[in-house]
Structure formats: structure tokens, C-alpha cells
Amino acid sequence: MPQHKSAAKRVRQTARRNARNRGHRSKMRTMIKNLRGTEDATQAATLLNDVKAYLDRMAAKNIIHKNKAANVKGQLEKFVSSLG
């Protein structure tokens, strides 16, 4: 239990941020899963742009590390290029 008012506030803020970040991370994983499940090259190329933009936003907000975003984007680009 927090012993100070400011510590109690930090607990509330952290809980809100964790919930928000968890939602973003879940959406990101779902987008990646949908892209990997695609077998059509043109649809995959369209999805790839959306996923890359979302990964960049998550890296900018420090929800994921910028190197992780770069690694995932590279893996997904390799996957999409193998389709067509």
C-alpha cells in the first residue's frame, strides 16, 4: 500500500497506462497475426503498410523498443516478399 498521496497517484496512473499499453500491444499482435495469415500478395502489401505505421507509432510512444519495431518490420517485409 502506498504511504503517501503522491505514491497513491502514481499507482493509479501506472494502472491506467498499463491497461492502455496492453490494449495497444494486443492490437499490434492481432495486426501481425492477420498479416501472417494472408496468402494474397496484394492484400498483404496493403496490410504491411498499416502494420509498419502502427509499429512506428508504438515505438515512438515507447510501448515497444525501436529496435524491436525494426526487427518485426524486417521479418514481415521478408514474409510479404516471399508471397509474390
Sketch the domain layout of the chain as residue ranges: 5-83
Spatial separation of the C-alpha atoms in residues 18 and 64, rounded to whole Å: 13
Q: Are 55 and 72 in contact (CB under 8 A)?
A: yes
For residue 63, what pLDDT is reported?
A: 95
In the numeric block, which cell numbers belong to residue 47? Answer: 496490410
- Predicted local distance difference test score (pLDDT) of residue 84: 75
- Domain 5-83 -> CATH class: mainly alpha
Tens of pLDDT, residue by residue, the chain (84 residues): 899 999 999 999 999 999 999 999 999 999 999 999 999 999 999 999 999 999 999 999 999 999 999 999 999 999 999 997
What is the per-residue pLDDT for 1?
87
Q: Could you give the CA distance from residue 17 to residue 37 in angstroms, rounded to a whole number? A: 30
